[in-house]
């Protein structure tokens, strides 16, 4: 279930009673109806970004709840799926901040492969019911992910957009890691998000930590 690079820091979580209960809950949910993402993509964010390669951690809330949308990376959708509103705002800000063109797709896998851990706080969701799997144990597991990155000697940049994500600041050792906070990119708070220049802040923090900045450009599928 858990990618190998994360076994050493998270393996014990899978042996805890809460994780057994969580697994049973999710399986009952899958038996009752569609649950996203599919089983083999629940840990896709951890699989795409190995533990020792995490340079940036972006925290989302829970997966997209529409058929074929989410694939285990926060804010990201499968190639060919319409770009959701929050990600459209992220792309607008990326264009205005760094001058990168808005891509024709919403697949953020290129970011994940460069060390950007695109982590949702809750890793599964019932179809058409946002937040339907909250408070079932995922938050305890993903808090352990955040702590594991925070406890590393190697510094990282934590990106906390919106009130929900910003509550996780307590899990981060801010004496060793950088934090970029701001409004959520959702249309409800877009006026506060747009113009906040988070990408240049992230890259500046990475340079200060001795990391290479992220190439934030997403290739067009039609190219």
Residue 143 annotated to the active site? no
Contact 116, 48 (CB under 8 A): no
Rounded distance, CA 215 to CA 154, Å?
Answer: 20
- Residues with Cβ within 8 Å of 20's Cβ and at least 6 positions away in sequence, in order, are none
10-45 CB burial, b ≥16 within 10 A, e <16: beebeeeeebeebeeebeebeeeeebbbeeebbbbb
| DSSP element (H, E) containing 59 | strand 56-60
Contact 45, 112 (CB under 8 A): yes
Cα-flanking dihedrals φ and ψ of residue 4, to 5°?
-55, -40
What is the rounded distance in angstroms from the CA atom of residue 221 to the CA atom of residue 95? 18
Question: Among 47, 62, 97, 203, which one carries the catalytic annotation?
Answer: 62
Owner of token pair 């058929």: 67
Which tokens go with 3? 């990618």
Q: Which residues are catalytic?
A: 62
């Amino acid at each position: 279930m858990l990618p190998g690079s994360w076994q050493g820091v998270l393996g014990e979580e899978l042996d805890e009673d809460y994780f057994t209960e969580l697994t049973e809950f999710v399986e009952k949910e899958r038996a009752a109806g569609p649950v996203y993402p599919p089983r083999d993509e629940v840990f896709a964010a951890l699989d795409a970004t190995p533990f020792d390669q995490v340079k940036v951690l972006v925290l989302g809330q829970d997966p997209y709840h529409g058929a074929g949308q989410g694939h285990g990376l926060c804010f990201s959708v499968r190639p060919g799926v319409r770009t959701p509103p929050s990600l459209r705002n992220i792309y607008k800000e990326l264009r205005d901040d760094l001058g990168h063109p808005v891509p024709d797709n919403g697949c953020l896998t290129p970011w994940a492969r460069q060390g950007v851990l695109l982590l949702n706080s809750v890793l599964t969701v019932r179809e058409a019911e946002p937040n339907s799997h909250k408070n079932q144990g995922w938050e305890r597991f993903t808090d352990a992910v955040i702590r594991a990155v925070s406890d590393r000697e190697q510094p990282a940049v934590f990106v906390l957009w919106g009130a929900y994500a910003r509550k996780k600041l307590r899990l981060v050792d801010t004496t060793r890691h950088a934090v970029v906070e701001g409004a959520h990119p959702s249309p409800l708070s877009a006026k506060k998000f747009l113009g906040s220049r988070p990408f240049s802040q992230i890259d500046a923090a990475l340079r200060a930590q001795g990391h290479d900045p992220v190439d934030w450009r997403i290739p067009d599928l039609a190219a």
